[in-house]
Structures are given as C-alpha cells and as structure tokens.
Structure 1
Amino acid sequence: MSTPGAPPRAPAPRTEVRGSTPWGAAVRRQSRTKVARQLKYFSPETDYAALANELHSEGKEGPARPPEPPAPEEEAGDDDYADWESSYR
C-alpha cells in the first residue's frame, strides 16, 4: 500500500542470474544429455593397422627401460640424528 499523496513507487528492477529460471536448467540438462548421447553412440573409423604398428614399434628411443633403483640409504654408523641427540644428553 502506498501513503496517500505520495508518488507511486516503481517496481524493483528485475535482476536475472544466469541459469536462475527452471527453463534454463531444463535446456542445459537437455544439452548435456544430447552431448552424452553423441559421445556414447558415435564411433569413428579406427585404423587398427596403424594402432598395431604404434603399439609394436620400439620407436626411436628403443625399448623402455625400467626406472633407476633408488639411492642406497646411509650406513647405520653414519647417523646424524644420533650424533645430535648424544650432544644434548
């Protein structure tokens, strides 16, 4: 209600946030479903011969080598913590 003699109030400006309407959510969901179906059912031609060549070739580097073993741990007598600890006893 307005006060008698006061000018009428303008309605508050309508602020729309992207995706705030139920229709927007439905359209986004429909679009995601369409993309998912395309990915699920689309099967491009696969060149199995090229794939086999790639998997069986050793490449320019030769066969893959196993990783280097880790460096050996320090010797039991070479314990810096034990030296530090004994200096505080």
Structure 2
Amino acid sequence: MPTCNSCGRTWSWKEAMKSSFSLDPAMKCPKCGKRQHLTKKSRKRMIWFNWLVLIPLALNIFLDLSVFFVLFLMLVLFAVSISLMPFHMELTEEEEPLW
C-alpha cells in the first residue's frame, strides 16, 4: 500500500483507488494534504498491469477461443489488475520522469 513520504501514513486500499482514478497525476495525502507522485518504478509496474489484460487476445491466436470467453477473461484480468494496483504503488514527493 502507498505510504506518504511526509507524514508516514499508510493509505487504505479505498483511498489509493480513489486517488489513482483522478485526472491529476499528483495524489493528495488524506492526512496531511501534501502532493505525492508515483515513483518511476511504480509507474512502470502499472504499465505491465495494463498489458496483462491483453493476454487473452494473444492466447486466442493460438487456441482459437470463443469471443465471449476472451471478453470474459479480459474482464476478469482487468478486475484483478485494478484491484492489485494499490498494493504496488510507491510514492515520492518529487515527480520523476518516466524514461
């Protein structure tokens, strides 16, 4: 779970999910209100979670699965990846360039 670098408070799963769906790239700490950013390492991990959802499309090339099964599998992987994202968030006070 993400931990604020200013006050040291560990965010709850709900707080992390709520702040991650904001359009602002900085997240405000629920306790002290300081702006926190995802680390470069954490953002790269999030990219891999997004690619995880596309695995059923690659499997469909080799296994000839039905469209409904592929869509169902993609939906399940999407739900799993979204629910696991807060556990892999790391925060920093400075915004780091991705590359």
TM-score (norm. length: structure 1): 0.26
Higher helix share: 2
Higher strand share: 2
Max radius of gyration: which structure?
Answer: 1
TM-score (norm. length: structure 2): 0.24
